[in-house]
Structure 1
Amino acid sequence: MNGDKGPTLASLSSQDVGSKDSGKIFGNLIETSRNLPTTSSELGTILLSVNEIKKRAHELREKSKPKRDHTRAHYLLAGSGLAIQDVESSLKALKSRKLIEQNVISRDSDSDLDTYLRTKKDENILSSIERSLASAAKDFDNFVNQNFNLDWEQRKEEVRENFGILVKRRKGDRLLAKDGADASPPTWGETGRAILDGESRLNVNENFTTRTKFENYAKIINSFNNARQTEVEFPLAKEITESLTRSANAVNRQLPEAWKILEHARESNDVVNKSKEFLEAQFLEYVDNLYRKNSSEGLPTNVNKVKSFIDHKLKNPNNTWKYGNLTIVNGVPIWAFIFYLLRAGLAQDALEVAIANKLSFKKVEQSFLTYFKAYVSSVDRKLPNEFVTRLHTEYNQHIKNALDGDPFRLAVYKIIGRCDLTRKNISSITLSIEDWIWIHIMLIKENNSSDYPLYEKYDLTDFQTIVTSYGASVFNGSYIIVLMLSGLYELAVQNAMTINEIDAVHLAIALAHYNKLKISTYGKDTLSELISTNEGKTELNFAKLLGNYTKSFKFSDPRIAVEYLILINLGGNKDAANVCHEALRELVLETKEFTILLGKVNRDGTRIPGVIEERQSLLSLSDEKDFLHKITEQAARRADEDGRVYDSLLLYQLADEYDIVIRIVNKLLSDLLSNTDLAQPLLNTDDNNETSPVLIAKKLINVYVNNLEIAQKIHSKNKEICILLLKVVDIRRSYYTQNWHETLEMIEEIDLIPLVDEASSRRRAQEFSNLGPEITKNIPKLLIITMTCVSKIIKALNHSEYQSSAKTQQVEALKRLGKNCMIYAGMIQYRMPRETYSILINLEVGL
């Protein structure tokens, strides 16, 4: 020891110690303590509560309690020069400064023991909460990472597909719906054409006039569909023509005429003959009206009516003829007379007039009567081939270039013999547009032989080319009529759109009904243009036309929208049917008018069909039930994705997916129970069967259980969960009305909370995860209800005036019940909201 270089206890004299402040010794101790392990030490930190430190300090003091006999200390310190009285004085100084605790906790004190136990329990709770939060945070991070990656993969695949990049799928890859059923992703139409999102700006509700026209047409279309469904003939063209005639609204002249043309030609696709007949009948009607307005001499025969027409139209006010080279016989221009009789479709009368006046014909005209007889007697009003060459020769030599020739004679020769087809117009005669069309139609000859020279060929296609080359400006507000008479129905609809879209749409409907339209084939890109050309033929996109029109009232009148969209299938081919079905899907999903379109479910579970189901016979369905099921299920999925739970409930019922319905109701009911405060009622006075999960569940369980066919489609576990949740509803009602005993009995009956013994509590805790999320999320509130009931009953018993052993036993039984409940709660505490266990502990302490 003497060899040590540093100062030692022996080197310190008692004088040195006594001369220093007693605090200096402990200052050295503090300085030395800095060498102890810190938080950066590998030893870690010491986590002791205040009470634990107090306890250990007390134990240390008991073990090292100083004795008054300092003999051994005297020997130890004898050579050090440290006086024992100085040590005692230092200890007294420390006590005076309260650096050493004077009052220690007695291990036998009841109050201290309660404090210790309570504090220990709080520490356990806090520690459990910290571990639970750490675990939850870790689980959440894992969940986010997994789902983010999955979502990204899905989005990447969708983007690749949208850009036309083929994605190789593993065999068997399928999208599982939320309910676990095997299902493909909902596609709202096979091609995604958005049929109801066209560019039309029509608003049928814009004003009273437009709305009235819309409603009048809608009534006719409804009647038309009714007739189609019952397979009864319906005069669509006649109905609309009469409607336009009765209408007080201003209607463009072309549209009523277009309907008359269609009505006349509805039963035949022979454009040439039907247009000829219409023009001749129209002219004769005009002649008849003119005759009636003017008092004319003679009997009202067709011949006399035409003669009267000639007098009014070909004479000047001074009673002279407008054409100077007319051949006048008995005061009548004979060639004009024959011409207009032919124009009125009176060929036989024209022949009789020619025979009666044959002596007036010039020498070069003597053979005309032979040609004319052959022409009139032919079935197709065409000159037989044996007379064609002779008539053409006479026409070219004597008629065509005659300076003083009658212009109507040239017209008659040209019509009968189809002469000089390189010049089809007759410029020397003033003709109306209808006259011009009639002459061209008279010159048309279909099925020309290949032996015919090119200049003698003139068919309907040639005439149509002339019409389209002239365009609308040439025909002075009669272009639609010209197009209809020349068989260019698609262009007629297109031009009618520029006048009035509503009228044009219905013209197209009638044309499609009578098989007059060439309708586009429906591929992925054909909904972009209303009119297109395919292999030289003009085609109308009928689906686009109806989709554009329906867009204007699909929200205000979805029932009427169905009536129009089913007309897409007028053609009856597979493509049209598919597009029709697609349009109906769009209508259902966009308007969300599920009750109107798809139907509803009565209180007794019976279905009332919607308008689509009512019209299903017009939809060319291979499997009617399958289509309605698919369209309803797709609508249900969309409603579910959009968060419209009550809509999805209705739709899944209509789709006969009763098990999904029960699962949705279970979730609604479970959420209501778990999210509603215990101090609040589950049912309000304004709740009804359409919005209250409780009332919905009661109604459905009542209907489904009593209907064997439906009950068989529901999984027994889902049905049991619904019934159990409804029992929890009854428990909540009883608890809200403070019927503690009844509530406790009902809780015991459902057998979710273990109340018997500790073993049952442990078993229930192990089975907790098997209960299903709808039940487990309501266990915390059931525990609170149970402990509250126990607490309230014990409190009432303790405050009762009488004392008995039975009361004591009852209180003890209730406490055991509460203890079992708390054992169960302690084992599942990490699966409950953090505040639930604190509430339960407070209730337990108060027992």
Structure 2
Amino acid sequence: MEVDSFDDLLRDAEQLTANVDSGGELPRVERNLHQIMETSQRLWTKTAQVGVPDAADVKASILLGSKGLDVPRISQRLETLSATKTFEPLEPIADTDIQSFLRNERENAVLAVIQETKKNTLQQTEKRFWETMQSEWQEQRQRILNALISSGEDLLDIGPDTESMLSETVAMDGRSTMDSVEMAYARQVYLYNDRVVHGGVRPNLIQLFEQISLQFEDKRVSELWAMVREMTSVPLISTVDTVQARSAQEMQMAFVRQARSYLENSYLKYISTIVGENLQRAQVGGIPGTFHRVQGFMKVKLPHPVPGLEDGEVNGQPVWPIIYYCLRCGDLDAVLHAVQRAAQDLGEFEEYLKEYMDSEDRRLSPNMQTKLRIHYRSNVRNSPDPYKRAVYCLIGCCDTTDSHSEVISKTEDYLWLKLSQVSFVEESGPSSLDRLTLPQLQTTLLEEYGENHFSAHQNPYLYFQVLFLSAQFEAAIEFLSRSDLRLRCHAVHTAIVLYEMGLLVLPANIQTQVLSKHLDDPSPMRRLNFARLISMYTSKFENTDPREALQYFYLLRGLKDHQGENLFITCLSEMVIETREFETLLGKLGQDGTRRPGAVDKFQANTQRILETVARDTEAKGLFEDAVKLYDLARNADKVLEILNRLLSPIVAVPKSGQSNRQRLQALAVAIAGRFQSQAVTGNQSNTKSFYLLLDLMTFFDEYHGRELDRALETIKTLQLVPLTPETVDDKVNAFKQYTDEVRRNMPDILLATMNILHTKYRNTRNTTLQNAQGRPTARSEDGGKESYLADLRRQAKSLITFAGMLPYRMPGDTNARLVQMEVLMN
């Protein structure tokens, strides 16, 4: 490549200068080196501040800089300018054109109405949205709370096909979520309800549950039901108020007596077991009786010798431990036998014991109790023999704050000691400070000690036993229902037993939490929301085992919800909506219109009322198709037709397509219409007329969208909804006022479809006439017939336009325009 000479470079430079001088996009800038350096420095500073070079600013500076303009300074001046006074409103100018003024006012009024309607619609929509969201959240909140004490599978368990804004549907069909224990209990509940429904003597529910508990091969469950049987074997007080009955002294004494009896029998079995397992050490010699078993037990468990024991021995065993353990087993005859064999060393104790045995509730008379307490304070309180102190405190109900830890090491023993010291006799003076009442004991166990003291979650059966034997049934059931998922079914069925026996204290409002306290109730009485407990229990399996859940809901038939509705019907309605097991639970209609019974019919309840309630709740939740089927099942033709009219009205003019809402609803409506006609079932005249008219209109639009124009025109003529002659316009306008809103809403589509049919037929006929005119000659009579036919089509279109203008109904804005446009094309 040759290197250009200096002359060539000079010539090229002069050529470039000439090109610049000859004109171009930008004028020539003449600046000295100092000016170019300042401008470059300013541009570089601006570029550095912005971060990204602005090509437009650079070009502007080059363009305006040649004229001596300082761009940055001009920008600063422009930013200081204010446009406040530029757009000040001008004085209104009076319009002298009345027509324009009126038109302007009318448009302003229309716009104001539209704006106000838009505002109201947005407000109502937002309000409805938040109400729906709040309702959904409340339902989900309740489900979450229920699921927290349910298995993990129940978390956010939504019934299939349930419309929700918050979650997807999860179906669990074909698989039971009940385990073997729950199924066994459910079977017993079914047997009990079946006997109740058919009348006669009710079976012993405790016996049913106790029998089935033997199959579980769990000793703790068997003991639980033995305890329930013992505590419910009390004389029931015939009163409506359960709180009053439970607070009565007679019933409280019975509860204490039964609890003490259960603990004593349990301890006697425990001693017998220990002796049976250690026959060689016990050396009872095969002699029956509590006295000899206690002696054998002491040889196994009691260390020998025990320091501090007083008042001699019986058969080589210390006397006071024998007396204590015989008392602990509840055998007072064995106690008397031991006392009599050591009477010379026991002083007046035999006298105290005999009066204690003769008392029906194991209580000394006030005089004898005072005498024993004086002897205790002066001679026994400071005795080194812990068994002697414990026996005196038991019989005399004294020193109730002493826990006797040297003798008592188990919770059952402590509970038995305190129950034995409970007093129901009013005392005065210093002795009243040493008195222990049942409410005081209940408060100590539930509130002062509580779950942490008894390590309840490590041993839930023990804490349940403590609360239940102290007659705190509601707190015991609530604790067991939430302590362990496997134990909840036992707690629920314990609650069922107490509820059926009238021993359960219920809240006035079923919306409260499971365990609540009423301000007017004596402390520490609690109330158990039995309805919510049943609902939480059945929520696990109501989707997969609705028949079993229904048996539990039947137990709630005597309760009312917050609206005063029967709780059995309310729970059934919610379960039907959730599970959608309409046929299984409520029955179904056969082809002949007869209703086949469902699971609810087995309860011999007011099935019609149940069906009406479920249908009403379904409609309130917006499940209109299901509501139609339920109202049809309840034989409420008026509601069936009313809801169907609302469902069909928006889809009458929609084109048919496979698997669409229109096709499904049309099939449902046609089936119901066929059955109603064959069985002569009718609702009120307005709903019936609108229903069959909407079905005929759907047929019309099916023919119209299917391009069967002749048949569609014949159908609309048969329906006589719109006028096709000028003479019938007034009659059709008057008849329009008699139609329901469901039919009126479709009138714009009916007019457009009819006008489109007329226009299409006119255009086809006109095109045929023109083709014949351009081809072979046509007979004059034929042309005259076509002209007459075209004129008739125009006359029909004109009738439609007149009818549309006279309708007392606000139609969409483009309807009249499209009608007029097609009518003009026909002229």
Q: TM-score band, normalised by the shorter chain?
A: 0.5 to 0.7
Q: Which runs of 5+ in 2 are unaligned?
A: 1-92, 155-174, 235-250, 806-810
Check if 1:773 corresponds to 2:744. Answer: yes
Matches within 5 A, 1:453-602: 453-455=431-433, 457-468=435-446, 469-475=448-454, 477=459, 478-497=462-481, 499-500=483-484, 502-503=488-489, 504-522=491-509, 526-527=512-513, 530=516, 534-542=521-529, 543-546=531-534, 572=559, 580=567, 584=571, 587=574, 591=578, 593=580, 595=582, 599=586, 602=589
Which whole-Å CA distance do the structure 2 matches of 1:567 and 1:763 have between them? Answer: 61
For 2:795, the equivalent position in structure 1 comes to 820
Aligned partner (choices 351, 357, 368) of residue 349 of structure 2: 368
The Cα shift of 1:551 comes to 5.9
Q: CA deviation at 1:719?
A: 1.9
Give, as a single letter, the amino acid of the residue that structure 1 aligns with 2:626: D
How far apart are the structure 2 equivalents of 1:530 and 1:770?
A: 58
> Which range is displaced more, 302-311 or 203-212?
203-212
Residues 816 and 559 of structure 1, relative CA distance in 2, 3 Å threshold: farther
Tell me the residue number matched to 2:272: 288
Distance 2:493 2:735 in 1: 68
Q: Distance in 2 between matches of 1:136 and 1:430?
A: 95
SS in structure 2 of the partner of residue 520 of structure 1: coil
Cα 1:836–1:137 shift into 2, 3 Å: farther
Identity %: 20
Structure 2 residue aligned with 1:68: none
* Alignment RMSD: 5.3
Structure 2 counterpart of 1:77: none
d(CA) in 2 for partners of 1:514, 1:342: 32
**Residue 368 of structure 2 corresponds to residue 381 of structure 1:** no
- SS, match of residue 526 in structure 2: strand
Amino acid at match of 2:794: K
1:445 aligns with 2:423: yes
Task: Label 1:247 to 1:779 Cα distance change in 2 as closer, same or farther (>3 A).
Answer: farther
CA positional deviation for 1:820? 3.0
Task: State the Cα distance separating 1:539 from its structure 2 match.
Answer: 1.6
- Kept in 2, the 8 Å contact 1:338–1:353? The answer is yes
User: Following TM superposition, by how much is the alpha carbon of 1:310 offset from its aligned partner in structure 2, in angstroms?
Assistant: 2.2
Describe the shift of the 1:819–1:445 C-alpha distance in structure 2 as closer, same or farther (beyond 3 A): same
Quick one: distance in 2 between partners of 1:576 and 1:461? Answer: 35
C-alpha deviation, 1:279, in angstroms: 0.7
Q: Distance in 2 between matches of 1:377 and 1:423?
A: 27
Structure 2 residue 188 is the aligned partner of structure 1 residue 260: no
Match of 2:675 in 1: 703
Q: Which of 744-753 and 148-157 deviates more?
A: 148-157
Verify: 1:274 aligned to 2:272, yes or no.
Answer: no
Match of 1:749 among 718, 723, 735: 718
> Equivalents in 1 of 2:96, 2:394: separation in Å?
121
The C-alpha deviation readout for 1:509-532, integer Å capped at 9, x for no partner, is 4444444443333298x5497456
Q: Measure, in 2, the Cα distance between the counterparts of 1:578 and 1:445.
A: 44
Q: Which residue number in structure 2 is paired with residue 341 of structure 1?
A: 326
Q: Quick one: distance in 2 between partners of 1:244 and 1:454? A: 44
- 1:290 positional shift: 2.8
The Cα of 1:822 is off from its aligned counterpart by 1.5
**Contact persistence 2:587–2:598 (CA under 8 A):** yes
Separation in structure 2 between the aligned mates of residue 139 and residue 659 of structure 1, nearest angstrom? 39
Q: CA deviation at 1:547?
A: 5.2
CA contact (8 A) 1:203 1:552 kept: yes
Distance 1:627 1:147 in 2: 41
Kindly provide the CA deviation profile for residues 94-150 of structure 1, in whole angstroms up to 9, marking residues without a partner as x: xxxxxxxxxxxxxxxxxxxxxxxxxxxxxxxxxxxxx9xx99997685365258559
Q: Tell me which of 607, 625, 629 is aligned to 1:650.
A: 629
Note closer, same or farther for the CA distance 1:785–1:216 as it changes in structure 2 (3 Å cut): farther
> SS in structure 2 opposite 1:362?
helix
Q: Provide, for residues 608-634 of structure 1, a one-character-per-residue CA deviation record: whole Å limited to 9, x for no partner.
A: 6777787695xxxxx996676456324
2:127 and 2:706 map into 1 onto residues whose CA distance is: 55
Specify whether residues 275 and 490 from structure 1 end up closer, same or farther in structure 2 by C-alpha distance, changes over 3 A only: same
The offset of 1:636, in angstroms, is 0.8
Displacement after TM superposition at 1:216 (Å): 5.4
2:568, 2:339 → 1: CA distance? 62
Q: State the 1:275 CA deviation.
A: 0.3
- What is the CA distance between 1:272 and its match in structure 2? 0.6
Q: Is the 8 A contact 2:507 2:528 kept in 1?
A: yes
Equivalent residue number for residue 92 of structure 1: none
Corresponding residue for 1:14? none
Structure 1 length as normaliser, TM-score?
A: 0.63
Partner in structure 1 of residue 316 of structure 2: 331
Q: Distance in 2 between matches of 1:204 and 1:483?
A: 25
- Assess if the C-alpha contact under 8 Å between 2:475 and 2:515 holds in 1: no
Structure 1 residues 457 and 754 mapped into 2: Cα distance closer, same or farther (>3 Å)?
closer
1:731–1:746 contact (8 Å) kept in structure 2: yes
Question: Which one has the largest radius of gyration?
Answer: 1
Query: Where do residues 632-651 of structure 1 align in structure 2 (5 Å cutoff)?
Result: 632-639=615-622, 644-651=623-630
- Distance between the aligned counterparts of 2:693 and 2:498, measured in 1? 62
- 8 A contact 1:424–1:440 mirrored in 2: no
Of 306, 320, 328 in structure 1, the residue corresponding to residue 294 of structure 2 is 306
The two structures have a TM-score, normalised by structure 2, of: 0.65
Structure 2 residue aligned with 1:425: 403
How many angstroms does 1:274 deviate by? Answer: 0.6
Distance change in 2, residues 1:482/1:820 (3 Å): same
Shifted more, 267-276 versus 231-240: the winner is 231-240
- The residue number in structure 2 matching 1:71 is none
What is the aligned partner in structure 2 of residue 720 from structure 1? 689
Equivalent positions of 1:27-46 (< 5 A) are none
For residue 644 of structure 2, what is the aligned residue in structure 1? 665
Quote the Cα distance in structure 2 between the aligned partners of 1:724 and 1:574: 42
1:765-822: CA deviation from partner (whole Å, max 9, x where unpaired): 6655555415524232234345546776898899899988996786466435423322
**Aligned residue type for 1:261:** M
- Write out per-residue CA displacement over residues 342-392 of structure 1, whole angstroms, 9 at most, x where no aligned residue: 32222223334444x2xx433552x43344333323333333456445544
Matches of 2:95 and 2:112, distance apart in 1: 30
Instruction: Using CA pairs under 8 Å that are at least 6 residues apart, name the structure with larger relative contact order, 1 or 2.
Output: 1
* Cα pair distance change 1:210/1:157, threshold 3 Å: closer
1:671–1:576 Cα change, 3 Å: closer
What SS does the aligned partner of 1:827 have? Answer: helix
> Offset of 1:661 from its aligned partner?
3.1
Distance change (3 Å), C-alpha of 1:313 and 1:698: same
- Rounded Cα–Cα distance in structure 1 between residues aligned with 2:693 and 2:777: 39
- Per-residue CA deviations over 1:316-339 (Å, capped at 9, x if unaligned) read 6xxx56875573333343443333
Note if contact 1:195-1:544 (Cα within 8 Å) is conserved in structure 2: no
Determine helix, strand or coil for the equivalent of 2:525: strand
Aligned equivalent of 2:5: none
Q: Quick one: distance in 2 between partners of 1:586 and 1:137?
A: 51
Question: How does 1:113-124 map onto structure 2 within 5 Å?
Answer: none
Cα distance 1:578–1:663, how it changes in 2: closer, same or farther (>3 A)?
A: closer
Whichever residue aligns with residue 440 of structure 2, its letter is D
In 1, Cα distance between the equivalents of 2:715 and 2:443?
A: 88
Q: Decide whether aligned partners of structure 1 residues 260 and 611 sit closer, same or farther in structure 2, where only a CA change above 3 A counts.
A: same
SS at match of 2:754: helix
Q: Using the alignment, how far apart are the partners of 1:154 and 1:749 within structure 2?
A: 41
The superposition leaves residues 644-685 of structure 1 with CA deviations (integer Å, 9 ceiling, x where unpaired) of 442343355467653343244334444333222xxxxx374x
